[in-house]
Chain A
Amino acid sequence: MIHFDQFGVSDETIRVVLSTALARGADDADLYFEHSGSTSVALSDGKVNRASTHVDLGVGVRVVVGDQVGYAYTEDLSRDAMLAAARLAAEIATGTAAHAPLSVTPRTYADRYPVTLPWEQVELEKRVSMVRAWEKAVFARDTRIQKVEVSLADSFRHVLVARPDGRIVYDYQPMTRAFISCTAEHEGRRETASANLAQRMGLEFYTDDRVERLVRRAVDDTIILFEAGKPPAGEMTVVLGAGSSGILLHEAIGHGLEADFNRKGVSIYADRLGTSIAPKGVTVVDDGTLMHARGSINMDDEGNPAEKTVLIEDGVLRSYLHDEISARHYKVAPTGSGRRESFRQPVLPRMRSTYMESGEYDPAEIIASVEKGIYCQSFSNGQVQIGAGDFAFYVRHGWLIEGGKLTRPIKDVNLVGNGPRVLETIEMVGNDLVIDEGGWTCGKDGQSVPVSQGMPTVKVSRLSVGGAS
């Protein structure tokens, strides 16, 4: 049995700890066992001069009464320590004992991230030589590059969820991430930029093509900055390039559709289910099932299978992102969106891979339709206020659009807007959806989880651009 091999716990221990968690009554409970690890090597100053390894092991015990949650965890997987955690978590409840499972049954789901060359079998020397080769490729691409930093990290997570119905579900979640940062000098000026890639894959992820793309992006995104200036300030038409501009969906819609905010009535999208919130032709999904995507999960952290959840269908709000608590509240099935950073935190409804489906327009036609505006190409971070619906995202670089053409590069500008209003002003959706392969991480209530995002080229008629007057 995998739970015995991985965590050293027996069926009997799982049953006893769950019964203790349920001893004061509960609507739900779970045990979340996690064993994770990561390895990274990093290069700077021309040397592969730093390695790191991390190991984490523990179990979280959650007891749920209605929408009330008791939570405790321990890094000590002895029976006594787990029972103590279960008793702490059970303090949320005040009733009589609920049923504990009589037996446990392992269950498996479809695997969206089969690994061909597992990192556990890759020698560290191999990683070192990869990082060196990438550095060499960066310097070879442009003589203006002065400094390069490169890192290659991989991680794994063994997760086992045990539930009161006796279900035991196990998942193995691999990840790899590559990062290159460049600093260049040109005519006495310096500029810096970086690029990264991340997927749930083994060594096979780093094909020559992909590495070439990563190197090209890191270098070219740096060099372009020598020509880049600030865009004008104020409201203007914005074209979002295909790929990572899915950050707009993540901030403007995604967080507001997480069901915990809606069942509490604090999201601007509360009470909007079934209503039109975007123009026809706009379909937005949150998908845990994309093969190898950073945001994909075979199961969520409550042991439910991940799915592709249609949030907005042809402009109409169809669903929130549910964990078990919100699903019970809304009397719907969970969407497999209950996630947590680690065994130290309780589950929250979270995004996985959020993207807009392709529309009908040619991307060139979209740019040609803009008399004056900006085109956003690469992004670093964003934020949203759930209730007001105001959101922001930071554009590392993009282009000024003048007379239907990309004219001058721009850099370092924050864009703000209001989610529902921006959705209404989506004017054109391109036919070129790209799921970005970047290493995006989403934060909520102090918990970070890996996510993906994607977008076709999209034209929004009005966003506030933080440029210079």
Chain B
Amino acid sequence: MEPLELGKDILRKARALGAQEAAVVVSRSTEASLMRRAGKLEQLQQASSLGASLSLLVDDRYSVHSTSDLRPDAIDTFLGRAIAATRVLEPEPERRQPAPELCGRYTSEAVLDRFDPGWESLTGAQRREQAEQLEACIDALPTRDQVLSATVYVGDSIGETARILSNGFENVSRGTGFGHGAEMTLLEPGGRRPEGSSYFSATHLGDLPGAERVAAESWSRAAQRLNSGPAPSGRYPMLLQNTAVGRILGVLGGPLSGSELHQGRSFLAGKKGERIAAPGLSIFDDPTIPRGLGSRPFDGDCLYAKPFPVLDQGVLQNYYVNVYYGRKLGVSPTSGGRSNWVVPPGTRAVDDITRELDRCIVVTGFLGGNSNGLTGDFSFGVQGLLLERGEVVKHLSEMNVSGNIGELLMSFQEAASDVWRWSSVRTPSLLFDGVQFSGT
């Protein structure tokens, strides 16, 4: 049965069994992934998958369910149990579905362009060849003899998702995903084996960068970790590399969300319209970017997915509030979760920025760490480079960066011009001043 038909069938059965409202999602996907190491195929994974999830409202009581056991008898039993389970809860009318007129596609699939028709003609032999090419590029590196082990990855998937709501909303969308990358381990004389990797994702195969770039980037990331150690503790300017920005801005994810605002666990509560970052720093939520990895026509509640500013020139413009928390908080919903985050670039290259600084730390990656959404405090292990007037003077490891995200955002200085596009966080490298690092 096709996902849409299956979804409609589940919705009809749920309603017949007493559900006042139901929302059904049926997803079908096919994926393949390959891994090569030491001149041979090390792993080959292929599968097709089908599963259904649904949310129910029974006498204003709410529950969520999922199953991959889609045999007709099993679905009946599953739904019967799901509805019985829902009846024992306490009612919460805020869970009702949004009015039908609020739901729909804001951007057409033709504009979003999330499906690569080339996927259908992709063969196993081509995937193997793609992996072989990546490995060949690594073998061709002039520094290959310093590489202890190199693994390359190639993967792709196609997904078809049907969504059916009892308020009348219905949609089927398809998307493809492609990725490739490499991971390298080097060997230091003392036995330490620093590793580095690079991985690129795109909705279209042709958008992936070439094998040479994958090889070169994974080498340079591993080489940056050779003979590394901590620098003295202190405050430094921090140049957050574009690929690392998502982790720090991600600290805002919880505090921006309706659930955390409602639970009183957000340091951003009551700050809408206030300055929370230095002027010059903006973050836009844009679900409409063609081929964007976070692009979508509607959000999790099936509300029209429109672009909106999160942070505009340092001023907090919007929270992430879904329909349920919108009702609880007494505000209009924006969206339950992030689509693409776009941070506008500046005009100067990273090298031009760092060259003007007597000393700065370039953060290239993180190790562990966490944050407290109620206070904004964070503490992360970091890897990176210590630069003086743009020259690398030390490879850094075994260090932490700590502080308060509110204070960090206020210390923002400049965005570089190097936007990273292989992620749903499309951001350039960002410079902050006076950031607390702990090392020796």
B144 at the interface (CB under 8 A from A): no
- Are A466 and B401 in touch, CB under 8 angstroms? yes
Give chain A nearest CB distance to B264 CB in angstroms. Answer: 5
**Measured between alpha carbons, how far is A393 from B438 in the docked complex, in Å?**
15
B124 touches A53 (CB 8 A): no
The residue among A39, A47, A53, A413 with the most chain B CB atoms within 10 A of its own CB is A53
Residues of B within 8 A of A113 (CB): none
CB of B358 closer than 8 Å to a CB of A: no
CA distance A383 to B88 in the complex (A): 40
A345 to B438, CA, bound (A): 39
Interface residues of B in 350-398 (CB under 8 A from A): 367-372, 374-375, 377-381, 397-398
Contact segment of B17-25, B57-65, B134-142, B301-309 = B57-65
- A386-B191 Cα distance, complex, nearest whole Å: 12
* Beta-carbon contact of B63 and A266 below 8 Å: no
Binding stretch for chain A, among B45-53, B158-166, B206-214: B45-53
Q: Digit string of B49-86 for contact with A (CB within 8 Å is 1, else 0)?
A: 11100000000011111111110001000100110111
Taking A71-B43, A92-B44 as contacts, is the C-beta distance between A387 and B185 under 8 angstroms?
Answer: yes
B230 at the interface (CB under 8 A from A): yes
For A389, what are the chain B residues with a Cβ–Cβ distance below 8 Å?
A: 192
Given A49-B92, A388-B195, A466-B438, the answer on whether A75 and B70 have CB atoms closer than 8 Å is yes
Residues A71 and B398 in contact, CB atoms below 8 Å apart = no
**Does the CB pair B398–A467 fall under 8 Å?**
no
Smallest beta-carbon distance A338→chain B, Å: 15
Contact, CB under 8 Å: A266 / B185? yes
Shortest CB-to-CB span from A26 to chain B, Å, is 13
Stretch of A136-144, A357-365, A414-422 that contacts chain B: A414-422
- The reply to whether the CB of A448 lies closer than 8 angstroms to some CB of chain B is no
Instruction: Choose from A72, A381, A465, A468 the contact partner of B370 (Cβ within 8 Å).
Output: A381
Q: Which one of A41, A67, A91, A271 contacts B89 once the chains associate, using CB atoms below 8 Å?
A: A41
- Cβ-defined contact, A51 with B85, below 8 A: yes
Tell yes or no: A125 within 8 A of B by CB: yes
Q: Are B369 and A394 in contact (CB under 8 A)?
A: yes
| Contact-residue bracket for chain B | 35 or more
B234 within 8 A of A: yes
B411 an interface residue at 8 Å Cβ cutoff? no
Contact A69 B48 (CB under 8 A): no
User: Given A71-B43, A380-B370, A414-B370, do A388 and B194 touch, yes or no (CB 8 Å)?
Assistant: yes
Contact check, B263 vs A52: say whether CB atoms are below 8 A apart: no
Interface stretch of the complex, out of B34-42, B237-245, B271-279, B333-341: B34-42
A191 within 8 A of B: yes
Known: A50-B89, A53-B85. A72 touches B402 (CB 8 A): no
Q: Least Cβ distance of A223 to chain B in Å?
A: 14
A381 to chain B, nearest CB (A): 6
* Chain B residue contacts of A158, Cβ below 8 A: none
Once A49-B62, A414-B380 are accepted as A-B contacts, the answer to whether A468 and B264 lie under 8 Å apart by CB is no
**Chain A residues in 8 Å Cβ range of B421:** none
Candidates B43, B50, B370; contact of A412 at CB < 8 Å: B370
A383 nearest in chain B by CB position = B368
B residues 167-207 touching A (CB-CB < 8 Å): 185-186, 191-195
Q: How far is the CA of A45 from the CA of B85 in the complex (A)?
A: 20
Q: How far is the CA of A92 from the CA of B42 in the complex (A)?
A: 9
Pair B89/A383 contact, Cβ less than 8 Å? no
Q: How far is the CB of A100 from chain B (nearest CB, A)?
A: 21
The interface residues of chain B lying within 8 Å CB-to-CB of A67 are 42
A75-B68, A147-B264, A233-B402 known; A124 vs B192 contact (CB < 8 Å): no
Does B148 belong to the interface (CB within 8 Å)?
yes
Given A183-B264, A414-B369, A466-B438, do A72 and B45 touch, yes or no (CB 8 Å)?
Answer: yes
State whether the Cβ of A101 lies closer than 8 Å to any Cβ in chain B.
no
Q: Check if A55 sits within 8 Å of B67, measured CB to CB.
A: yes
For A346, give its contact among B45, B50, B68, B368 (CB under 8 Å): B45
- With CB as the reference atom, state the residue of chain A lying closest to B31: A344
Given known pairs A67-B42, A233-B402, the reply for A265 and B85 (CB within 8 Å) is no
| A267 adjacent to chain B (CB < 8 Å) | yes
Q: Assess whether A119 is interfacial by the CB under 8 Å rule.
A: no
**Which residues of the other chain, A, contact B377 by a CB distance below 8 angstroms?**
230, 411-412
B127 to chain A, nearest CB (A): 11
- B145 contacts the other chain (CB 8 A): no
Determine if B250 is an interface residue (Cβ-Cβ < 8 Å).
no
Residues of A within 8 A of B43 (CB): 68-71, 92, 346
- Name the A residues within 8 Å of B62 (CB-CB): 49-50
**Given A414-B380, A466-B381, do A55 and B69 touch, yes or no (CB 8 Å)?**
yes
Report Cα–Cα, A233/B435, bound state, in Å: 13
Tell me, rounded to whole Å, the shortest Cβ–Cβ distance linking A137 to chain B.
19
A49-B262 Cα distance, complex, nearest whole Å:
15
Contact (Cβ within 8 A) A467 B44: no
* CB interface residues, A 26-71, toward B, < 8 Å: 35, 39, 41, 44-45, 47-58, 67-71
| Residues in A neighbouring B429, C-beta threshold 8 A | none
Measured CB to CB, the closest approach of chain B to A35, in angstroms, equals 8
Q: A417 with B47: in contact, given A392-B368, A469-B235 (CB under 8 Å)? A: no
Q: Separation in Å of the B371 CB from the closest CB of chain A?
A: 8
Note all chain A residues with C-beta closer than 8 A to B403.
468
Q: Interface readout for B111-147 with A: 1 if CB under 8 Å, 0 if not?
A: 0000000000000100000000000000000000000
Q: Which of B81, B88, B234, B401 neighbours the largest number of chain A CB atoms within 10 Å of its CB?
A: B88
Other A-B contacts than A49-B90, A267-B193, 18 sampled, CB-CB below 8 A, are A45-B328, A47-B90, A49-B95, A55-B74, A68-B42, A70-B44, A88-B47, A125-B88, A183-B265, A266-B149, A270-B193, A383-B367, A394-B369, A394-B379, A412-B372, A412-B379, A466-B400, A467-B379
Shortest 10 CB-CB contacts between residues of A and residues of B:
A466-B400, A392-B368, A387-B193, A233-B438, A392-B381, A414-B379, A383-B368, A466-B379, A57-B69, A55-B67
Could you name 27 residue pairs across A and B whose Cβ atoms are closer than 8 Å? A49-B92, A55-B67, A55-B78, A68-B43, A69-B42, A71-B46, A73-B49, A74-B47, A75-B49, A124-B88, A183-B263, A190-B264, A235-B439, A264-B149, A266-B195, A383-B367, A385-B195, A391-B367, A391-B368, A394-B368, A394-B369, A464-B230, A464-B438, A466-B369, A466-B380, A466-B381, A467-B379
Chain B residues in contact with chain A, CB under 8 A? 37, 40-51, 61-70, 74, 78, 81-82, 84-86, 88-90, 92, 95, 124, 148-149, 185-186, 191-195, 225, 228, 230, 233-235, 263-265, 328, 367-372, 374-375, 377-381, 397-403, 436-440
Residues on A lying within 8 angstroms of B by beta carbon are 35, 39, 41, 44-45, 47-58, 67-76, 85, 88-89, 91-92, 124-125, 128, 146-147, 149, 183, 185, 190-192, 230, 233-235, 251, 264-268, 270-271, 344, 346, 380-394, 411-418, 464-469
